[in-house]
Amino acid sequence: MSEMGVVDGLTATLVAHRFYVLGQSKIEIAADFGISRFKVARLIDAALERGLVRVEFAPPAPIDVRLSDELRSAYGLRQAFVLNRAASAGPRAQVRQQIGGFAARLLSETVTEDDVVGLSWARSVNAMAAAVQRLPRCPIVQLCGVQAGMDMRDRSVETVRRVAEVSGGDAYPIYGPLVLPDRRTTEILRRQPGIAETFAQFPRLTKAVVSIGAWLPGESTVYDAVSPAEREAITARGARAEVAARLFDGEGKPLSTGLAHHVLAIDTAELLKVPEVIALGYTAPKAEAIDAVLRSGLVSTLITDTPAAEGALRLRGA
Protein backbone atom coordinates (compact mmCIF):
# COMPACT_ATOMS: atom_id res chain seq x y z
CA MET A 1 0.00 0.00 0.00
CA SER A 2 1.31 3.50 -0.88
CA GLU A 3 2.49 5.89 1.81
CA MET A 4 -0.40 7.59 3.62
CA GLY A 5 -0.07 11.27 4.42
CA VAL A 6 -1.22 13.01 7.58
CA VAL A 7 -4.47 14.25 6.05
CA ASP A 8 -5.36 10.89 4.56
CA GLY A 9 -4.44 9.24 7.86
CA LEU A 10 -6.71 11.55 9.82
CA THR A 11 -9.52 10.98 7.30
CA ALA A 12 -9.15 7.21 7.65
CA THR A 13 -9.16 7.54 11.44
CA LEU A 14 -12.29 9.70 11.40
CA VAL A 15 -14.09 7.30 9.06
CA ALA A 16 -13.16 4.34 11.27
CA HIS A 17 -14.36 6.26 14.36
CA ARG A 18 -17.71 6.88 12.70
CA PHE A 19 -17.99 3.18 11.83
CA TYR A 20 -16.77 1.50 15.04
CA VAL A 21 -17.67 4.02 17.74
CA LEU A 22 -20.69 5.92 16.41
CA GLY A 23 -22.13 2.84 14.68
CA GLN A 24 -22.79 4.57 11.37
CA SER A 25 -23.15 2.38 8.29
CA LYS A 26 -20.70 2.60 5.38
CA ILE A 27 -23.48 4.07 3.24
CA GLU A 28 -24.17 6.83 5.81
CA ILE A 29 -20.47 7.66 6.09
CA ALA A 30 -20.10 7.71 2.31
CA ALA A 31 -22.98 10.19 1.99
CA ASP A 32 -21.51 12.50 4.66
CA PHE A 33 -18.03 12.50 3.09
CA GLY A 34 -19.18 12.54 -0.53
CA ILE A 35 -17.29 9.35 -1.41
CA SER A 36 -18.32 5.82 -2.39
CA ARG A 37 -19.00 3.14 0.19
CA PHE A 38 -16.14 1.14 -1.38
CA LYS A 39 -13.78 4.03 -0.60
CA VAL A 40 -15.14 4.01 2.98
CA ALA A 41 -14.36 0.29 3.26
CA ARG A 42 -10.81 0.86 1.96
CA LEU A 43 -10.23 3.67 4.46
CA ILE A 44 -11.43 1.49 7.35
CA ASP A 45 -9.13 -1.34 6.22
CA ALA A 46 -6.21 1.08 5.90
CA ALA A 47 -6.84 2.46 9.41
CA LEU A 48 -6.68 -1.06 10.84
CA GLU A 49 -3.65 -2.15 8.82
CA ARG A 50 -1.62 0.93 9.77
CA GLY A 51 -2.50 0.72 13.45
CA LEU A 52 -4.43 4.01 13.40
CA VAL A 53 -7.33 2.11 14.94
CA ARG A 54 -7.21 -0.91 17.26
CA VAL A 55 -10.26 -3.06 17.77
CA GLU A 56 -10.26 -4.71 21.19
CA PHE A 57 -12.70 -7.18 22.64
CA ALA A 58 -13.57 -7.44 26.31
CA PRO A 59 -15.65 -10.61 26.72
CA PRO A 60 -17.65 -10.84 29.96
CA ALA A 61 -15.76 -14.00 30.95
CA PRO A 62 -12.14 -15.22 30.51
CA ILE A 63 -12.91 -16.79 27.12
CA ASP A 64 -10.61 -17.01 24.09
CA VAL A 65 -13.01 -15.75 21.42
CA ARG A 66 -10.87 -16.74 18.41
CA LEU A 67 -10.16 -20.27 19.65
CA SER A 68 -13.81 -20.74 20.64
CA ASP A 69 -14.96 -19.84 17.13
CA GLU A 70 -12.35 -22.12 15.54
CA LEU A 71 -13.55 -25.03 17.65
CA ARG A 72 -17.22 -24.29 16.94
CA SER A 73 -16.57 -24.13 13.21
CA ALA A 74 -14.31 -27.22 13.05
CA TYR A 75 -16.91 -29.48 14.66
CA GLY A 76 -20.13 -27.79 13.56
CA LEU A 77 -21.16 -26.98 17.12
CA ARG A 78 -23.90 -24.57 18.06
CA GLN A 79 -21.58 -22.95 20.62
CA ALA A 80 -18.08 -23.44 22.00
CA PHE A 81 -16.48 -21.63 24.92
CA VAL A 82 -12.75 -22.01 25.56
CA LEU A 83 -11.12 -20.62 28.71
CA ASN A 84 -8.27 -18.34 27.68
CA ARG A 85 -4.67 -19.37 28.26
CA ALA A 86 -4.32 -17.49 31.54
CA ALA A 87 -7.51 -19.00 32.99
CA SER A 88 -6.42 -22.46 31.79
CA ALA A 89 -3.01 -22.29 33.46
CA GLY A 90 -4.10 -22.76 37.07
CA PRO A 91 -4.36 -25.99 39.08
CA ARG A 92 -6.83 -28.54 37.77
CA ALA A 93 -9.30 -27.87 40.60
CA GLN A 94 -9.25 -24.17 39.79
CA VAL A 95 -9.86 -24.79 36.08
CA ARG A 96 -12.74 -27.10 37.05
CA GLN A 97 -14.32 -24.35 39.14
CA GLN A 98 -14.12 -21.91 36.24
CA ILE A 99 -15.57 -24.45 33.79
CA GLY A 100 -18.38 -25.23 36.23
CA GLY A 101 -19.00 -21.58 37.00
CA PHE A 102 -19.32 -20.69 33.31
CA ALA A 103 -21.66 -23.66 32.77
CA ALA A 104 -23.81 -22.40 35.66
CA ARG A 105 -24.11 -18.98 34.01
CA LEU A 106 -24.96 -20.55 30.67
CA LEU A 107 -27.63 -22.75 32.23
CA SER A 108 -29.13 -19.83 34.18
CA GLU A 109 -29.39 -17.75 31.00
CA THR A 110 -30.81 -20.43 28.69
CA VAL A 111 -33.08 -22.76 30.70
CA THR A 112 -36.83 -22.04 30.60
CA GLU A 113 -39.84 -23.44 32.44
CA ASP A 114 -40.51 -25.67 29.43
CA ASP A 115 -37.20 -27.50 29.81
CA VAL A 116 -36.43 -30.84 31.40
CA VAL A 117 -32.76 -30.79 32.43
CA GLY A 118 -30.56 -33.88 32.82
CA LEU A 119 -27.30 -33.97 34.78
CA SER A 120 -24.63 -36.64 34.63
CA TRP A 121 -22.12 -37.31 37.41
CA ALA A 122 -18.82 -35.43 37.16
CA ARG A 123 -16.81 -33.14 39.38
CA SER A 124 -17.19 -30.36 36.81
CA VAL A 125 -20.98 -30.81 36.78
CA ASN A 126 -20.92 -30.75 40.59
CA ALA A 127 -18.95 -27.48 40.41
CA MET A 128 -21.64 -26.14 38.10
CA ALA A 129 -24.37 -27.19 40.53
CA ALA A 130 -22.62 -25.42 43.40
CA ALA A 131 -22.36 -22.22 41.33
CA VAL A 132 -25.95 -22.06 40.04
CA GLN A 133 -27.79 -19.17 41.66
CA ARG A 134 -31.07 -19.10 39.77
CA LEU A 135 -33.11 -21.28 37.44
CA PRO A 136 -36.74 -21.25 36.36
CA ARG A 137 -38.96 -23.96 37.78
CA CYS A 138 -38.31 -27.14 35.79
CA PRO A 139 -37.61 -30.85 36.43
CA ILE A 140 -34.01 -31.92 37.14
CA VAL A 141 -33.16 -35.49 36.17
CA GLN A 142 -30.16 -37.61 37.14
CA LEU A 143 -28.68 -39.36 34.11
CA CYS A 144 -26.61 -42.05 35.81
CA GLY A 145 -26.02 -43.73 39.14
CA VAL A 146 -23.50 -42.90 41.84
CA GLN A 147 -19.83 -43.70 41.42
CA ALA A 148 -18.64 -45.85 44.29
CA GLY A 149 -16.08 -44.43 46.69
CA MET A 150 -16.96 -40.76 46.27
CA ASP A 151 -17.75 -38.33 49.08
CA MET A 152 -21.41 -37.41 49.38
CA ARG A 153 -20.62 -33.85 48.30
CA ASP A 154 -19.40 -35.23 44.97
CA ARG A 155 -22.28 -37.58 44.33
CA SER A 156 -24.76 -37.02 41.53
CA VAL A 157 -27.74 -37.47 43.88
CA GLU A 158 -26.59 -34.41 45.80
CA THR A 159 -25.98 -32.51 42.57
CA VAL A 160 -29.52 -33.13 41.36
CA ARG A 161 -30.94 -32.20 44.77
CA ARG A 162 -28.96 -28.95 44.85
CA VAL A 163 -30.01 -27.82 41.35
CA ALA A 164 -33.65 -28.80 41.98
CA GLU A 165 -33.62 -26.69 45.15
CA VAL A 166 -32.47 -23.68 43.15
CA SER A 167 -35.07 -24.33 40.47
CA GLY A 168 -37.94 -25.31 42.74
CA GLY A 169 -38.78 -28.03 40.24
CA ASP A 170 -39.15 -31.78 40.76
CA ALA A 171 -36.00 -33.81 41.34
CA TYR A 172 -35.60 -37.26 39.79
CA PRO A 173 -32.57 -38.94 41.42
CA ILE A 174 -31.11 -42.41 40.94
CA TYR A 175 -30.45 -44.00 44.32
CA GLY A 176 -28.18 -46.72 43.05
CA PRO A 177 -24.54 -47.33 42.05
CA LEU A 178 -23.32 -46.46 38.59
CA VAL A 179 -21.62 -49.82 37.95
CA LEU A 180 -23.35 -53.04 39.05
CA PRO A 181 -21.96 -56.59 39.18
CA ASP A 182 -24.16 -58.09 36.46
CA ARG A 183 -27.03 -57.58 34.04
CA ARG A 184 -29.64 -59.21 36.28
CA THR A 185 -28.93 -56.87 39.20
CA THR A 186 -29.09 -53.89 36.83
CA GLU A 187 -32.48 -54.96 35.46
CA ILE A 188 -33.87 -55.50 38.97
CA LEU A 189 -32.79 -52.05 40.11
CA ARG A 190 -34.11 -50.38 36.97
CA ARG A 191 -37.56 -51.76 37.83
CA GLN A 192 -37.50 -50.26 41.33
CA PRO A 193 -40.24 -47.56 41.54
CA GLY A 194 -37.99 -44.56 42.22
CA ILE A 195 -35.37 -45.48 39.65
CA ALA A 196 -37.99 -46.48 37.06
CA GLU A 197 -39.65 -43.07 37.50
CA THR A 198 -36.34 -41.32 36.76
CA PHE A 199 -35.64 -43.48 33.69
CA ALA A 200 -39.13 -42.62 32.42
CA GLN A 201 -38.06 -38.96 32.25
CA PHE A 202 -35.25 -39.58 29.75
CA PRO A 203 -37.46 -39.25 26.62
CA ARG A 204 -38.68 -35.87 27.95
CA LEU A 205 -35.20 -34.32 28.27
CA THR A 206 -34.65 -31.07 26.40
CA LYS A 207 -31.22 -30.20 27.84
CA ALA A 208 -28.42 -32.24 29.39
CA VAL A 209 -25.18 -31.24 31.07
CA VAL A 210 -22.57 -33.98 30.81
CA SER A 211 -18.85 -34.47 31.28
CA ILE A 212 -16.51 -35.91 28.67
CA GLY A 213 -14.24 -38.54 30.16
CA ALA A 214 -11.20 -40.16 28.57
CA TRP A 215 -10.82 -43.96 28.72
CA LEU A 216 -7.76 -43.56 30.93
CA PRO A 217 -6.99 -44.03 34.63
CA GLY A 218 -8.49 -41.23 36.68
CA GLU A 219 -10.11 -39.59 33.63
CA SER A 220 -13.39 -41.54 33.47
CA THR A 221 -16.26 -42.18 35.84
CA VAL A 222 -16.19 -45.90 35.12
CA TYR A 223 -12.65 -46.81 33.99
CA ASP A 224 -11.43 -47.48 37.52
CA ALA A 225 -14.76 -49.00 38.60
CA VAL A 226 -14.64 -52.06 36.33
CA SER A 227 -12.42 -55.11 36.65
CA PRO A 228 -8.98 -55.10 35.00
CA ALA A 229 -10.12 -57.82 32.58
CA GLU A 230 -13.17 -55.86 31.47
CA ARG A 231 -11.13 -52.68 31.24
CA GLU A 232 -8.61 -54.39 28.95
CA ALA A 233 -11.36 -55.86 26.78
CA ILE A 234 -13.03 -52.46 26.39
CA THR A 235 -9.68 -50.84 25.59
CA ALA A 236 -9.07 -53.48 22.93
CA ARG A 237 -12.41 -52.60 21.33
CA GLY A 238 -11.07 -49.09 20.73
CA ALA A 239 -12.74 -47.12 23.53
CA ARG A 240 -11.47 -43.54 23.69
CA ALA A 241 -14.19 -41.56 25.41
CA GLU A 242 -17.00 -41.88 27.93
CA VAL A 243 -20.09 -39.79 28.56
CA ALA A 244 -22.52 -40.81 31.33
CA ALA A 245 -20.99 -44.32 31.32
CA ARG A 246 -21.55 -44.69 27.56
CA LEU A 247 -18.48 -45.33 25.41
CA PHE A 248 -17.26 -44.01 22.06
CA ASP A 249 -14.38 -45.01 19.81
CA GLY A 250 -11.89 -42.59 18.26
CA GLU A 251 -14.20 -41.83 15.33
CA GLY A 252 -17.09 -40.96 17.61
CA LYS A 253 -19.02 -44.18 17.03
CA PRO A 254 -20.90 -45.57 20.06
CA LEU A 255 -19.37 -48.78 21.39
CA SER A 256 -21.57 -51.68 22.46
CA THR A 257 -19.74 -53.61 25.17
CA GLY A 258 -20.65 -55.73 28.15
CA LEU A 259 -20.42 -52.59 30.27
CA ALA A 260 -23.64 -51.29 28.72
CA HIS A 261 -25.60 -54.03 30.48
CA HIS A 262 -24.46 -53.39 34.02
CA VAL A 263 -24.52 -49.63 34.45
CA LEU A 264 -27.45 -47.56 35.69
CA ALA A 265 -27.43 -44.78 33.10
CA ILE A 266 -29.26 -43.23 30.20
CA ASP A 267 -28.51 -45.22 27.07
CA THR A 268 -26.66 -43.80 24.08
CA ALA A 269 -29.69 -43.67 21.78
CA GLU A 270 -31.68 -41.63 24.32
CA LEU A 271 -28.74 -39.30 24.94
CA LEU A 272 -28.34 -38.66 21.21
CA LYS A 273 -31.99 -37.60 21.03
CA VAL A 274 -31.62 -34.81 23.61
CA PRO A 275 -32.01 -31.53 21.66
CA GLU A 276 -29.26 -29.66 23.52
CA VAL A 277 -26.28 -31.33 25.16
CA ILE A 278 -23.80 -29.11 27.01
CA ALA A 279 -20.52 -30.98 27.46
CA LEU A 280 -17.76 -30.08 29.90
CA GLY A 281 -14.29 -31.42 29.13
CA TYR A 282 -10.89 -29.97 29.94
CA THR A 283 -7.11 -30.58 30.27
CA ALA A 284 -4.78 -31.89 27.57
CA PRO A 285 -5.18 -35.63 28.43
CA LYS A 286 -8.84 -35.41 27.41
CA ALA A 287 -8.21 -33.86 23.98
CA GLU A 288 -8.57 -37.19 22.15
CA ALA A 289 -11.76 -38.01 24.05
CA ILE A 290 -13.21 -34.57 23.33
CA ASP A 291 -12.40 -34.98 19.64
CA ALA A 292 -14.12 -38.39 19.61
CA VAL A 293 -17.29 -37.19 21.35
CA LEU A 294 -17.56 -34.09 19.17
CA ARG A 295 -17.31 -36.31 16.07
CA SER A 296 -20.30 -38.31 17.36
CA GLY A 297 -22.72 -35.41 16.89
CA LEU A 298 -23.88 -35.74 20.48
CA VAL A 299 -22.72 -32.31 21.67
CA SER A 300 -24.28 -28.98 20.77
CA THR A 301 -22.29 -26.80 23.22
CA LEU A 302 -18.78 -27.44 24.54
CA ILE A 303 -17.08 -25.71 27.47
CA THR A 304 -13.35 -26.46 27.65
CA ASP A 305 -9.90 -25.00 28.25
CA THR A 306 -7.08 -23.96 25.91
CA PRO A 307 -4.90 -27.13 26.09
CA ALA A 308 -7.85 -29.42 25.39
CA ALA A 309 -9.17 -27.20 22.59
CA GLU A 310 -5.79 -26.94 20.87
CA GLY A 311 -5.27 -30.69 21.18
CA ALA A 312 -8.68 -31.47 19.70
CA LEU A 313 -8.12 -29.07 16.79
CA ARG A 314 -4.79 -30.74 15.99
CA LEU A 315 -6.55 -34.12 15.89
CA ARG A 316 -9.26 -32.61 13.70
CA GLY A 317 -6.60 -31.27 11.35
CA ALA A 318 -7.98 -27.76 11.72
pLDDT per residue of the chain (318 residues) written in tens, 0 to 9: 456 777 788 889 999 999 988 999 999 999 989 999 999 999 999 999 998 888 776 666 789 989 999 999 999 999 999 999 999 998 999 999 999 999 999 999 999 999 999 999 888 999 999 999 999 999 999 999 877 554 444 455 688 999 999 999 999 999 888 889 889 999 999 999 999 999 999 999 999 999 999 999 989 888 988 889 999 999 999 999 999 999 999 999 999 888 888 899 999 999 999 999 999 999 999 999 999 999 999 999 999 999 999 999 999 986
Displacement of CA 14 from its chain's centroid (Å):
41
State pTM to two decimals.
Answer: 0.83
| Gap between the Cα atoms of 65 and 56, Å rounded | 11
| Gap between the Cα atoms of 39 and 43, Å rounded | 6
- Rounded (10°) CA dihedral 216, 91, 318, 107: 90
